Amino acid sequence: MPLYEYRCDGCGERFEVLQRMGEGPQGLTCPRCGAAEPRRQLSTFAAAGSSADGASRSACAAPGGSGFT
Protein backbone atom coordinates (compact mmCIF):
# COMPACT_ATOMS: atom_id res chain seq x y z
CA MET A 1 0.00 0.00 0.00
CA PRO A 2 1.33 3.40 -0.90
CA LEU A 3 1.85 6.12 1.62
CA TYR A 4 0.05 9.36 0.95
CA GLU A 5 0.91 12.68 2.43
CA TYR A 6 -1.84 15.02 3.50
CA ARG A 7 -1.88 18.52 4.74
CA CYS A 8 -4.57 20.08 6.86
CA ASP A 9 -6.01 23.34 5.65
CA GLY A 10 -7.00 24.36 9.12
CA CYS A 11 -3.79 24.05 11.11
CA GLY A 12 -1.22 23.24 8.48
CA GLU A 13 -0.42 19.87 9.98
CA ARG A 14 1.20 17.41 7.60
CA PHE A 15 0.76 13.72 8.07
CA GLU A 16 1.05 10.52 6.15
CA VAL A 17 -1.59 7.91 5.64
CA LEU A 18 -1.35 4.44 4.26
CA GLN A 19 -4.10 4.07 1.74
CA ARG A 20 -5.09 1.88 -1.05
CA MET A 21 -4.53 3.11 -4.58
CA GLY A 22 -7.19 5.56 -5.61
CA GLU A 23 -8.52 6.19 -2.15
CA GLY A 24 -9.35 9.79 -1.41
CA PRO A 25 -9.39 11.98 1.66
CA GLN A 26 -12.93 10.97 2.50
CA GLY A 27 -13.10 9.83 6.08
CA LEU A 28 -9.70 11.20 6.97
CA THR A 29 -9.31 13.74 9.69
CA CYS A 30 -6.40 15.82 10.80
CA PRO A 31 -4.68 14.17 13.77
CA ARG A 32 -4.01 17.55 15.26
CA CYS A 33 -7.20 19.59 14.99
CA GLY A 34 -9.63 17.00 13.73
CA ALA A 35 -10.63 18.82 10.58
CA ALA A 36 -12.09 16.63 7.88
CA GLU A 37 -10.81 15.98 4.39
CA PRO A 38 -7.27 17.23 4.36
CA ARG A 39 -5.54 18.02 1.11
CA ARG A 40 -3.40 15.40 -0.48
CA GLN A 41 0.14 16.42 -1.25
CA LEU A 42 2.36 14.95 -3.89
CA SER A 43 3.13 11.43 -2.87
CA THR A 44 6.59 11.22 -1.40
CA PHE A 45 7.55 7.99 -3.02
CA ALA A 46 6.74 9.31 -6.47
CA ALA A 47 8.76 12.46 -5.96
CA ALA A 48 11.75 10.70 -4.47
CA GLY A 49 12.33 8.46 -7.44
CA SER A 50 15.80 9.09 -8.77
CA SER A 51 16.21 6.62 -11.56
CA ALA A 52 12.63 5.56 -12.02
CA ASP A 53 12.60 6.49 -15.62
CA GLY A 54 9.86 4.25 -16.83
CA ALA A 55 11.02 3.74 -20.33
CA SER A 56 8.41 1.29 -21.35
CA ARG A 57 9.80 0.31 -24.64
CA SER A 58 7.83 -2.36 -26.31
CA ALA A 59 9.65 -5.54 -27.00
CA CYS A 60 10.95 -5.52 -30.50
CA ALA A 61 8.25 -7.53 -32.15
CA ALA A 62 9.95 -9.13 -35.04
CA PRO A 63 7.58 -9.62 -37.92
CA GLY A 64 6.84 -13.27 -38.33
CA GLY A 65 9.02 -15.66 -40.18
CA SER A 66 9.04 -14.67 -43.79
CA GLY A 67 9.55 -18.17 -45.06
CA PHE A 68 9.89 -17.70 -48.73
CA THR A 69 11.21 -20.54 -50.78
Residues of this chain that interact with Zn ion (CB under 5 A) are: 8, 10-11, 13, 30, 32-33, 35
The distance of closest approach from Cβ of residue 25 to Zn ion in the complex, given in angstroms and rounded to an integer, is 12
The span from the CA of 33 to the CA of 57, in Å, is 47
CA-to-CA separations, 52 to 20, 38, 44, 49, in angstroms, rounded: 21, 28, 13, 5
Nearer to Zn ion, 4 or 46 (CB): 4
φ and ψ at residue 44, rounded to 5 degrees: -65, -40
Nearer to Zn ion, 32 or 45 (CB): 32
Nearer to Zn ion, 12 or 45 (CB): 12
